[in-house]
Amino acid sequence: MPTYQEERFPLPTPSRLARELHLSRPPWWMILLLAIVVVATWVPLVLIYRVRGTTSRQPRVHFFMDMDKQAKFGTQSVHPWFEDGRAMRTPIEGTIARGHLRHDAHFFDGFSKDATSGAIQFMTTMPSQVMVDESLLQRGQQRYGIYCTVCHGATGVGDGPVNQRAIELKEPKWVPATNLMTQEIRDRADGQIFQAIRDGVRNMPSYGAQIDPHDRWAIVAYIRYLQSITPVAAPQGDTPQVSPQGANP
């Protein structure tokens, strides 16, 4: 039995509305169109759900670029503003990047230079900021394996694959890789080995750009470790002394 409020304010059921508004059933095409529109609204939701659960090599869709995409020139690209056409510019002469003041000759050069006479003195010890421990030797072994093994060999005796191949082909300009286990190399100061890595020696190119100073000292420490566990090798012959770059007045 309806209540007093239901009689004064009847509930707006679909059948009541249809009777009072004299609404007729919509045509079939309108119902079909409405159903298609409703189903179409589900498509973006399905695509979003699918994308969130899959990986792709394509960049993400960015509605707001923020700092992800900037109007800038990439590495080795062309720039129309400069006469040489290069976007990459060399640093202004005399400027030093923040935090890159190489004021510690022991750590960055491996030798000291007398301002008056120009005489150089190789450092015989590791820098104070380099602690020789297990982690340093592991780092040195890793860097040695990447840059040194190809010529000097895994054990430092000069039997690397590049050196062996050059000797096999009898390259006329090839200088055999130095055997790091000879007494001559053992007698050299740590700084001299460091400088050789940085500036290069004969066929050996400079690795100053590829290996940072700390990793160079790590390689020196690893070479000393190899020398401590390897017997002294026979002399390899006369090895010319090479002065550090910039050492001469």
Check whether residue 176 and residue 110 sit in a common domain: yes
Q: State CA 232 to chain mean position distance.
A: 37
Whether 173 maps to a domain, the answer reads yes
Whether 66 maps to a domain, the answer reads no
Res 28: pLDDT: 85
Res 237: pLDDT: 59
Whether 12 maps to a domain, the answer reads yes
Check whether residue 218 and residue 114 sit in a common domain: yes
Check whether residue 176 and residue 249 sit in a common domain: yes
Check whether residue 249 and residue 126 sit in a common domain: yes
Res 154: pLDDT: 93
Res 118: pLDDT: 79
Check whether residue 47 and residue 109 sit in a common domain: no
What confidence tens digit (pLDDT) does each residue in 110-165 have?
998 887 887 889 999 999 999 999 999 999 999 999 999 999 999 999 999 999 99
Check whether residue 233 and residue 140 sit in a common domain: yes
Check whether residue 124 and residue 18 sit in a common domain: no
| Residues 6 or more apart whose Cβ sits within 8 Å of residue 121 | 111, 112, 113, 114
Check whether residue 152 and residue 223 sit in a common domain: yes
Whether 45 maps to a domain, the answer reads yes
Whether 70 maps to a domain, the answer reads no
State which residues form the domain around 39.
4-52
Res 107: pLDDT: 93
156-195: burial string, b at 16+ Cβ within 10 Å, e else: bbbbbeebeebeeeeeeeeeebbbbbbebbeebbbbbbbb
Number of separate domains in the chain: 2
Domain stops at, among 12, 37, 52: 52
User: Which residue bears the tokens 């309806």?
Assistant: 2
Q: Work out the angle between the directed axes of helices 213-229 and 134-147 (0-180°, nearest 10).
A: 100
Check whether residue 47 and residue 169 sit in a common domain: no
Check whether residue 139 and residue 35 sit in a common domain: no
Strand partners, 233: 182
Q: What's this model's pTM, rounded to 2 decimal places?
A: 0.60
Whether 220 maps to a domain, the answer reads yes
Best CA proximity match to 247, nearest among 109, 122, 120: 120
Which residues of the chain fall below pLDDT 70?
A: 1-12, 17-18, 20, 22-23, 237-249
Whether 117 maps to a domain, the answer reads yes
Whether 46 maps to a domain, the answer reads yes
Check whether residue 33 and residue 114 sit in a common domain: no
CATH number at residue 238: 1.10.760.10
